Structure 1
Amino acid sequence: MKIIKVTLPDHSYNVEIESGILSCTGQLVSSVWDERKIALVSDSNVAPLYQQKVSDALISVGFTVHNYQFPAGEASKSLEVLADLTRELAADGFTRDDGVIALGGGVTGDLAGFLAATYMRGISLIQMPTSLLAQVDSSVGGKTAVDLDTTKNIIGAFYQPDLVIIDPETLTTLDRRDLVEGYGEIVKEAALTDGKLWELVKEIESPSAILENAEELSRLSIQYKADVVMGDEKEGGLRQVLNFGHTIGHAIEALADGDLRHGEVVSVGMVAITRIFEEKGLTQAGVTEKLINRLDAVGLPVSSPLLESSDIFDKIKNDKKNHTGHLNLVYLHQIGGPAIKSIPSEEIRDFLNIKALQS
């Protein structure tokens, strides 16, 4: 078993990674929690696959488990669904001594995580991500949130779990698009860190190769993210580099209205921002092409017609990462050399240059 320790000033936890680990859920959870009532939250796609198996494992070691399910999809990451789940926990008598386990992809992790953060001002949380995107990104670091209208993650909290359990075998039930989407975040972290992760990413030439190397890709990605989070838990400085590709990516995601996945828009966003900074001479020549090669190898999109939308700059300016009238743009000097450039919001259109975005 591979164990990554996340040590923060007020809270520490382990990320445990191993194929087949879902069958050990009872023992793993009982190592961090005493007997209590558990809300096992999953969506309509994941619940039929794993919820009963995990529930049985928890019950076998003495936990009382209530299974909750919500409709799969980003639309469920809402205040309405959050309220429904809160009502269900209240009706079933959950108290501050109980806990929530988020079993599923990124939507489940964000939604159930925010449920744990807000129910009775906070109850215990464990993350059990079943998608590649959730395993390498959203399950680690404590970000929880719901969307409001078309704005992603605008209502949320930093709320760290007590444990993260990752079973790479769950990736075998993903369709090709869902698997490849998560790989977009892996390429992002590889480009930020260089080293072993970038070297491994350079060897991935197909979706099947992602599955073959899933455990090591997850371990290296999560270790990098954990190191960043331990250095900057609340995104006051260093952690902002993890937003590479996200400012433009989130704008495209909002305009796509559900037609593009998060990892796909991050892929497009990374290429767009790198091309712009390379044309300005702030990024080493050839970096854009290196990114395109790694993303295109598995079928991730590297451009989008939505870059031509007249609304894209309004979405970019209104990004929740706008700080006191400035937008911090994360870019690369070179592979493994992230940097941040702060641009006044009113200058963002001229700086990014719509022609450059449409290249």
Structure 2
Amino acid sequence: MRKLSIDLPGKNYEIFIQKGLFEQIGLNIRNIYKGKKIAVVTDDKVYRIYGDRMKKNLIDSGYLVKFIIIKNGEKSKNINVLQDIYSGFLDFNLTRKDIILTFGGGVVGDLGGFAAATFLRGIPFIQIPTTLLSQIDSSIGGKVGIDLERGKNLIGSFYHPKAVFVDPEVLMSLEKRVFNDGLSECIKYGCIKSKELFLKLENYKSDKELYEDIDYVIYKCCTIKKEFVEEDEKDTGKRMILNFGHTIGHAIETYFNYSKYTHGEAVAIGMYLITKNSERNKETEKGTSDKIKNLLIKYNLPYTFEKIDTNKIVQTISLDKKCIENSINIILIRNIGESYIKKIKKDQVFNYITDN
């Protein structure tokens, strides 16, 4: 088993990474939580595949269990569904001595984690991510929240789990598009911090070879995120680098109402687009955007999009949390593995989102 410890002022927790870990999840939770009740927030797709096994595992470990099931997809990450989750907690008579499991992808983790952070002013929770994207990114670092119609993650908090349990074997049940969605974030980590990881992703000769090495990929990505989170927990400085590709990506997701592109696909477009333009501006080493494009193509990820209303994209970006008064912090890379934050005026955003 691979383990990572997230060490923050007043809060420490561990990430456990092991193939087959899910089969012993009840016993693993017993090492952390000695109480009786567990509320499991999950989505309909995950429940259909793993619900019965999870329920039996937890009951066999001596727990009283209630499943709260939401519809799969980003459109569930809203206030109305949040209220349904609260109602499920109330029906179960959940107290602050009990615990919540978020069992699913990034939407479940963000939404269930925010419910945990806010119900009764905070109930402990454990993350059990089931997609590559959530295993390497959204389950780590304490960001929880929901979307508004005008933008993504505009309501949220920092609320860390008691533990994160990562079983790479559950990735075998993912649709290829969903798995590749997570690879976009893996590529991001390579771009901002690890040329070694980027080269590994370039050199895998087959899906089988990648799957055989997926423990390493997950561990490497989690290690990079751990370093940024420990240095800048509240995302006011260096941690913003983790948002490489996300400023444009989130705007694209919102523009298409979360229906055309997955999160990872939108981020993929964002990474290539901003790098192509920063390269043109001589802020990035020549040829870097082509390296990103070729890797995106290898993993069936988009790097460009159909013609859109650029003004609407800029308006959405102006709501981004990285905006301060008339400026916005954008994330650029000098070359693969070396990244930095640049502050620009809002009217300069056009220079980084034009696709020509």
- Report the TM-score, using the length of structure 1 for normalisation: 0.95
Secondary structure of 2:125's counterpart equals: strand
The whole-number CA distance in structure 1 between the counterparts of 2:196 and 2:305 is 30
Q: Which amino acid is 2:153 matched to?
A: N
Q: 1:62 to 1:220 in 2, by over 3 A?
A: same
Percent identical pairs in the alignment equals: 35
- CA-based RMSD: 1.5
Q: CA deviation at 1:330?
A: 0.1
Secondary structure of 2:227's counterpart equals: helix
Contact 2:331 2:340 in 1 (8 A): yes
Q: How does 1:99-110 map to 2 (within 5 A)?
A: 99-110=99-110
Q: CA deviation at 1:310?
A: 4.2
Q: Which amino acid is 1:297 matched to?
A: K
The whole-number CA distance in structure 2 between the counterparts of 1:205 and 1:228 is 30
1:314 is matched with: 315
1:186 is matched with: 186
Secondary structure of 1:45's counterpart equals: helix
2:158 is matched with: 158
List alignment gaps of at least 5 residues for structure 2: none
Q: Which amino acid is 1:190 matched to?
A: G
Q: In the alignment, does 2:83 pair up with 1:86?
A: no
CA deviation string 1:262-295 (max 9, x = no partner): 0001000000000111011110111111111111
Q: How does 1:2-17 map to 2 (within 5 A)?
A: 2-17=2-17
The whole-number CA distance in structure 2 between the counterparts of 1:81 and 1:105 is 16
2:355 is matched with: 358
The whole-number CA distance in structure 2 between the counterparts of 1:28 and 1:323 is 43
Q: How does 1:1-359 map to 2 (within 5 A)?
A: 1-204=1-204, 207-257=207-257, 258-306=259-307, 309-349=310-350, 351-352=351-352, 357-359=354-356
Secondary structure of 2:234's counterpart equals: coil
The whole-number CA distance in structure 1 between the counterparts of 2:210 and 2:302 is 16
Q: Which amino acid is 1:220 matched to?
A: K
CA deviation string 1:173-226 (max 9, x = no partner): 111100101100000001111243223222135555443332111111111111
The whole-number CA distance in structure 2 between the counterparts of 1:39 and 1:77 is 18
The whole-number CA distance in structure 2 between the counterparts of 1:150 and 1:72 is 21
The whole-number CA distance in structure 2 between the counterparts of 1:306 and 1:223 is 37
Q: 1:149 to 1:96 in 2, by over 3 A?
A: same
CA deviation string 1:51-90 (max 9, x = no partner): 2212222222222211111111111111101101101111
The whole-number CA distance in structure 2 between the counterparts of 1:129 and 1:263 is 16
Q: CA deviation at 1:116?
A: 0.5
Secondary structure of 1:145's counterpart equals: strand
The whole-number CA distance in structure 1 between the counterparts of 2:288 and 2:309 is 23
The whole-number CA distance in structure 2 between the counterparts of 1:61 and 1:35 is 11
Q: Which amino acid is 1:277 matched to?
A: S
The whole-number CA distance in structure 2 between the counterparts of 1:57 and 1:10 is 31
CA deviation string 1:308-345 (max 9, x = no partner): 64422222222232123311010001111101111122
The whole-number CA distance in structure 2 between the counterparts of 1:243 and 1:113 is 20
Aligned residue pairs: how many?
A: 355
Contact 2:35 2:97 in 1 (8 A): no
The whole-number CA distance in structure 2 between the counterparts of 1:143 and 1:41 is 17
CA deviation string 1:14-38 (max 9, x = no partner): 1111111001111211111112311
Q: Which amino acid is 2:270 matched to?
A: G
Q: Which amino acid is 1:358 matched to?
A: D
Q: Name segments (4+ residues, structure 1) moved above 6 Å.
A: none
Contact 1:248 1:269 in 2 (8 A): yes
Q: CA deviation at 1:296?
A: 0.9
Contact 1:41 1:103 in 2 (8 A): yes
Q: Which amino acid is 2:135 matched to?
A: Q
Contact 2:245 2:331 in 1 (8 A): yes
CA deviation string 1:135-182 (max 9, x = no partner): 111011111111111411111111100110111111111111001011
Q: Which amino acid is 1:255 matched to?
A: Y
The whole-number CA distance in structure 2 between the counterparts of 1:325 and 1:49 is 47
Secondary structure of 1:230's counterpart equals: helix
Q: 1:252 to 1:35 in 2, by over 3 A?
A: same
The whole-number CA distance in structure 2 between the counterparts of 1:62 and 1:330 is 47
Q: Which amino acid is 1:235 matched to?
A: D
